[in-house]
């Protein structure tokens, strides 16, 4: 069984959604296992719209435990998937390897899945734009789960 590790910053948004969406889509008899971690993973709660969006898709993320990327997690993965370009830079500097981006595997393009602060600079005061972005990321990752699974074997050494 190949293990796929998704990496973002806080491990409560992009990488966590990818972990749960891929596990759900792959099903219990998958040839893959999935986990996620953050480059910082500072203690913070999961945003309600993320929890609600996953719940609406039949996933209960309440058991998710936020965690920081460690050498053990990194070395235990057959495929490390970064959600953003800053995660690639962190992994290259820390682990001397270059991970792929989620969109490379799922959609065949080298494009980051932007964090809320990157896509909505005024996210702290513009709740509508913030929530729209969060929902679009949730949809983007969810829609990418099936093509990701179809393409993943081509990225695993």
- CATH of 2-155, picked from 3.90.420.10, 3.40.50.2300, 1.10.1740.10, 3.90.1710.10, is 3.40.50.2300
At 122 the pLDDT is 96
- Strand locations in 21-126, DSSP E? 32-38, 79-82, 100-101
Q: What is the mean pLDDT of residues 135-149?
A: 98
User: Tell me: the pLDDT tens digits for 55-79?
Assistant: 999 999 999 999 999 999 999 999 9
d(CA 51, CA 156): 30
Q: What is the mean pLDDT of residues 50-56?
A: 96
Find out whether 105 and 81 touch, Cβ atoms under 8 Å.
yes
Instruction: Report the predicted TM-score, pTM, of the whole model to 2 decimal places.
Output: 0.96
Instruction: Name 144's Cβ contacts closer than 8 Å, sequence gap at least 6.
Output: 102, 103, 106, 107
Q: What is the mean pLDDT of residues 82-98?
A: 97
């Amino acid at each position: 069984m190949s293990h796929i590790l998704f990496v973002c910053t806080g491990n409560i948004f992009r990488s966590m959604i990818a972990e749960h969406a891929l596990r759900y889509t792959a099903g219990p008899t998958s040839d893959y296992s999935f986990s996620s971690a953050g480059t910082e993973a500072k203690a913070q709660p999961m945003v309600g719209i993320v929890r609600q969006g996953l719940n609406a898709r039949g996933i209960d993320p309440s058991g998710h435990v936020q965690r920081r990327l460690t050498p053990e997690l990194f070395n235990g993965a057959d495929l490390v998937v970064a959600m953003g370009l800053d995660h690639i830079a962190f992994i290259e500097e820390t682990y001397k390897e270059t991970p792929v981006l989620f969109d490379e595997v799922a959609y065949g393009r080298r494009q980051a899945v932007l964090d809320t602060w990157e896509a909505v600079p005024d996210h702290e005061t513009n709740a509508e734009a913030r929530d729209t972005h969060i929902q679009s990321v949730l949809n983007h990752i969810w829609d990418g789960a099936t093509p990701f699974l179809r393409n993943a074997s081509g990225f695993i050494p």
